Every structure is written in structure tokens, then in C-alpha cells.
Amino acid sequence: MSVRQQVLYLWLAEGALDTPVVGWAFHDGSAGRGPALPGSEPPYANGAAALEDGWCLLQSPAPQALSPGAEHAIGYLPNEFVFERRIDLAG
Amino acid sequence: MPAADHRLTTLEVARFVAEGFLRFDALVPAELNPRVVAELGTLAQAKLPQAVGVKPTSDGLDRPASATPLSGCYPPPSALGELLRLPAVRGIIESLVGPDPAYDHDFVHLLPAGSGYRQHLHVDAIVDSADPSFDIQLFYFPEEVAPGAGGTRFVPGTHLRRARAEGVSRYQRLLGEQQYAGPAGTLLVFHHGLWHAGQPNPSDRARWMYKIRLNPRVPQVRLWNTEDFDAQHNDPTDHIFATMRFEGVGHALRQMQPWQQGHEARYELVHRVRLWRYLSGDDRYDVDYYLTRLEQRAQGGDGVTR
């Protein structure tokens, strides 16, 4: 098996895919043998720009039902989008 | 801070509420810094083994127990005690957690030259309660830290988000994060909830950092220099969509970090307002009307809770 996965997490300003990137994380199963992220910071202006660069969306955040009394709570960043890119090392 | 009174100003405390930290470059006198480094070496001989469950062979310093009033920690002669009793340092401490807070713990964070040790982003201790009271953590750098040479990474504005350490480790990069670099004797003062992480030290110099956590023993209400309080503290009608002030506490609390964009920023503001209510003792305080609107509606507009 010569396919390896690259995973990109993007945290966006809002729940829409075309809103600005505010945070990111990159994990490279190809150990550097696949393409790198763009050198800009953030690597993409918004989530849609990642799609245009060849990333496939694996997960987008579903709106959560609000718990009574906790409607104003803030904790983890809510708009987490997960992408993957499959790298064929033999190709 | 004012020259004659080492306590913080109202606007400095407002900035602490908004950003979760304050920074004081080269605050500690140059002659004291190397003496503290020497003492940190002794302290590290006891602290570092104990942190991994190994009984230290020598205690070296007279180390305080948790809950000791700060005034009883590191009695003379002690360079660390001298540092903690500097009027400028005491003024900052008193402004945020009172005149004689409780010692929680301290630690020596030594990164040898060439260290590749890198922490994930984390919050210290365990997930917080809803109580607005807070501890402070002093991060003291006795020697100059060059850019990229092991300075602590931190994310301004994260301190009011209730999160577990292992949950925030997933964020490799956030817009607006900082990595400390600065001159010898610099003090960073963190709200205990601020997300932060140790970084590698690829330089050819060891990086020393002393961190101490302090718990308040009094309500944290107007402990700072409040000479400017009335002028800076806005009333609850300060509303960005009606009439607003472009200075003062409300203006300081509205300043968001680059990672705080969109509507999410409104919830950040609400939590800053709640913390300012606690610190100011004004339970009607508001910025941009988010809480006032809900509270007035619940009271039917006539002050009677229905």
C-alpha cells in the first residue's frame, strides 16, 4: 500500500466554509514526500480556498443544540473543519 | 503603572481582562537577575526530581508549602524573595489578587541550549469552574530571550474559554498567538486560564524561566489604583449600535484578537463583561448591551423579576 494521508484541520471564524481561517493544524502521513502547505499564514484564507487547492472535506461542524443555562458558554473553537489529501507515493 | 503607586491603573486591569496577560519589560533590576538565576539553580535541584516522583537528595532552599501567604515565602536572605517583594512586583500582584495572596506553587523552567522539547498548547491545572475569581501566574525571565530561543508561546484572549488541557492541544497555530522574546528581567503576568506552551530552544544559551501561581485570599474587587476609575468605567448604555465611547474600559474590552472574528466575538465580550462586573463590583456593568437587554427583559423592564 503506497497511499498516505495528509490531514488538515482548519478552524474558521464562523460555521460557513467560506469564512476566514483563524487557526490550523497539519499532520503529514507522507512524512514530507507529499506537497507541503502554502507558506502563507494562515495557509488558506478560508475553507473554500482549501477545496480549490485539492483538499477533500472529511468533516464539518454540525450546529449543536444549546443547553439551557449554557447558551453563552465559550470553550473549544466551535468551527472545526477537517480535510484530507491522499498521497500516492508510487505515483 | 503610575510612578508613585506601583499598583495597576484601571485601563491596565481592563486590558488584562481583555487579553488575559500583561507584560512588563525589564521590570526587575539588572543586578538582581543573576542572583535569582543562581538561586533558581538550587531550587531546580529539588523541584525537578520531585516533579517526576523522585525524592530530592537536597532541599537547598526553604521551600514554601501550598497555601502559605506570599509574605511568608522565601524569607531573607533570598534573591527570589527579593524579587517577589520588589515594590513594582508587589504592586502588580496586589492589583490582581490582593496584598498577600496564597502561594500555590512555583517551578523552574530550564531549557538547555539546543533543547528540542516542545509542548502542545495547554491550560494549566484542570478545567475551570464558572466562578469569575482567578489566580495569576507570573512568568519571570531573568535573562534575555532572543526571538525563537525558547520563549513561551501563548494565545492572548484565550483565558476565559473553559477548556481542558488535552482539548486545546489540537491547535497547532492560531492567528494572533505570540512567542515571548525580550530583555532580562521581564515579567509576564497571566490569568490562570491563558493557553500557552513551552517551545524548543535552538540557541546556544540556556533559557531560564521562573513561574509562580498565586491564589487570591480576598475578593478581587477594585484592588488596583482606582484614581482613574470613574473616568474610565463606562455606564451600561455604551453600545456600539447606539451611542458609544471610543475610550475607557468598554473600548478596551471590545478589542478582539485576530482569532476572535465573527459573531463568536460577542460571546467573548460577554465573558469579559462578567469578569469586569466582578472586579469593579458593578453588577449592572455592560458593553454593547448584550447582558442588559436580557436582564431587563427578564425583569419586565420595571426591575421586577417575573
Are residues B24 and B13 in contact, defined by beta-carbon separation less than 8 angstroms?
no
pLDDT in tens, A25-68: 999 999 999 999 999 999 999 999 999 999 999 999 988 888 99
The predicted pLDDT at position B306 comes to 46
Mean pLDDT for chain B? 94
Start and end residues for every CATH 2.60.120.620 domain found in chain B: 10-215
pLDDT in tens, B246-258: 999 999 999 999 9
CATH tag, B10-215: 2.60.120.620
Calpha distance A61→A70 (Å, rounded)? 19
**A71 to chain B nearest CA, in Å?**
9
Q: What ipTM goes with this model? A: 0.96
Q: Chain A partners of B157 at a C-beta cutoff of 8 Å?
A: none
C-alpha cell at B233: 468605567
For residue A41, the enclosing domain spans 3-88
Mean pLDDT for chain A? 95
Calpha distance A57→A83 (Å, rounded)? 4
Q: Which residue of A has its CA nearest to B127?
A: A75
| Amino acid code (one letter) for B2 | P
Which residues of A make CB contacts under 8 Å with B? 9, 11, 13-14, 19-26, 41-42, 72-79
The predicted pLDDT at position B290 comes to 96
Do the chains contact at A25 and B171, CB–CB below 8 Å? yes
Q: Which residue of A has its CA nearest to B268?
A: A74
Count of domains in chain A? 1
- Identify which of A19, A22, A26 has the shortest CB distance to residue B174: A22
Q: Which residue of A has its CA nearest to B291?
A: A72
- The pTM (predicted TM-score) of the whole model is 0.95
pLDDT in tens, B145-171: 999 999 999 999 999 999 988 899 999
Calpha distance B299→B306 (Å, rounded)? 6
